[in-house]
Amino acid sequence: MAVTVTELTPTTGVEVTGLSGGRLVDKAVAEECLAALERRGVVIYREADVDDDDLVAFSRLLGQVVPLPMGGHPTHPEIQRITRDPSKSPLAAYREGTFHWHIDGTTDQVPNKATLLTARQISDDGGGDTEFANTFAAYEALSDTEKLELDGLRVVHSFAASQLLVTPDPSPKERAAWDRNPAREHPLVWTRGDGRRSLLVGATAGEIVDRPPEEGRALLDRLLAWASQPRFTLRHQWRRGDLVIWDNTGMLHRALPYGAASSRLMHRTSLQGEEAVA
Ligand code: OGA
Ligand code: MN
């Protein structure tokens, strides 16, 4: 089958068709994928139909695969099962958290470089598309004055901030459990070694250092609304077998809500980050 490569929005996304199964597990394909990720943030292999061995093998060609504790996969410790069915994943109860715009691993010093997600079963309730927002493009489009205003600001990221969006009124026990995950401070604007800049915002961003809480909250809300405008976003409607890979450092993402009884089941791997937030 002929391979086609299509750019999806003016700034974001590449869709590849005609590559599937073991044909994906190829050094040249991996190199093209990494280049596309850097340029376009999201790479979609339509109906790639990779099995679990191929998913892990392709992930290894892209970077260092992080083992995912509590992944819920019986034979592959590198694979996390993303589902709301608690019989398939011990983390099912936390999936509602992914309905809010976020970047994975923002409480780590070095957030994951990329995430790979492949659809084993798509949702049967109309929900469960995945959306991406390009925070490189969003930063770039700010005015010089706005960029200057953000210079030097630092943000506290915490698991608790993201959980408050799902459970605004936690019991003291819930709150204590969230707070066992240490918070982390990062610059609001992430400047890469190569000079590219992106906004580090999303569900885990709780407050701005040295700002009154309401004022910090208002700025974080404004920036998230800015970054998630249609002109910076891409929506993926899943077909069974799709493999979607995103630059986790620069793409905010969220699942559109799907029900607790949805058939949706994704297999996911994550790649170790290569650059600390600076
Ligand atoms: C994730 C995530 C989105 C989705 O796995 O980190 O945010 O659409 N997933 O399931
Ligand atoms: Mn995520």
**Per-residue confidence (pLDDT) for residue 153, from 0 to 100:** 98
Q: Is residue 278 part of a domain?
A: no
Q: How far apart are CA 172 and CA 178, in angstroms?
A: 10
Sign for the pseudo-dihedral over CA of 52, 56, 61, 63: positive
Q: Is residue 17 part of a domain?
A: yes
Q: Tell me: do 260 and 129 sit in the same domain.
A: yes
Contact 277, 199 (CB under 8 A): no
* CATH code: domain of residue 79: 3.60.130.10
**Per-residue confidence (pLDDT) for residue 63, from 0 to 100:** 98
Q: Is residue 211 part of a domain?
A: yes
Q: Is residue 277 part of a domain?
A: no
- Closest atom of ligand 1 relative to the 128 alpha carbon: 8
pTM: 0.96
DSSP secondary structure of 89-127: -TTGGGGGGGGS-B-TTTTSSS--SEEEEEEEE--SSS-
Q: Specify the 3-state DSSP secondary structure of 217.
A: helix
Please state the φ and ψ torsions of residue 58, each to the nearest 5 degrees: -65, -40
- The residue whose CA is least distant from atom 7 of ligand 1 is 98
Neighbours of ion ligand 2 (CB under 5 A): 104
Structure letter (DSSP) for residue 66: P
Instruction: Determine if ligand 1 sits within 6 Å of the CB of residue 266.
Output: yes
Instruction: Determine if ligand 1 sits within 6 Å of the CB of residue 253.
Output: yes
CA nearest 113: which of 252, 249, 263, 277?
A: 249
Please tell me the total count of domains within the chain: 2
Range of the domain at 237: 4-133+232-271
Instruction: Determine if ligand 1 sits within 6 Å of the CB of residue 189.
Output: no
Q: How far apart are CA 127 and CA 259, in angstroms?
A: 7
Q: Is residue 42 part of a domain?
A: yes
- The residue whose CA is least distant from atom 2 of ligand 1 is 98
Per-residue pLDDT of the chain (278 residues; tens, 9 = 90+): 799 999 999 999 999 999 999 999 999 999 999 999 999 999 999 999 999 999 999 999 999 999 887 788 888 999 999 999 999 999 998 899 999 999 999 999 999 999 999 999 999 999 999 999 999 999 999 999 999 999 999 999 999 999 999 999 999 999 999 999 999 999 999 999 999 999 999 999 999 999 999 999 999 999 999 999 999 999 999 999 999 999 999 999 999 999 999 999 999 999 999 999 99
Q: Is residue 197 part of a domain?
A: yes
CA of 145 relative to ligand 1 center, distance in Å = 34
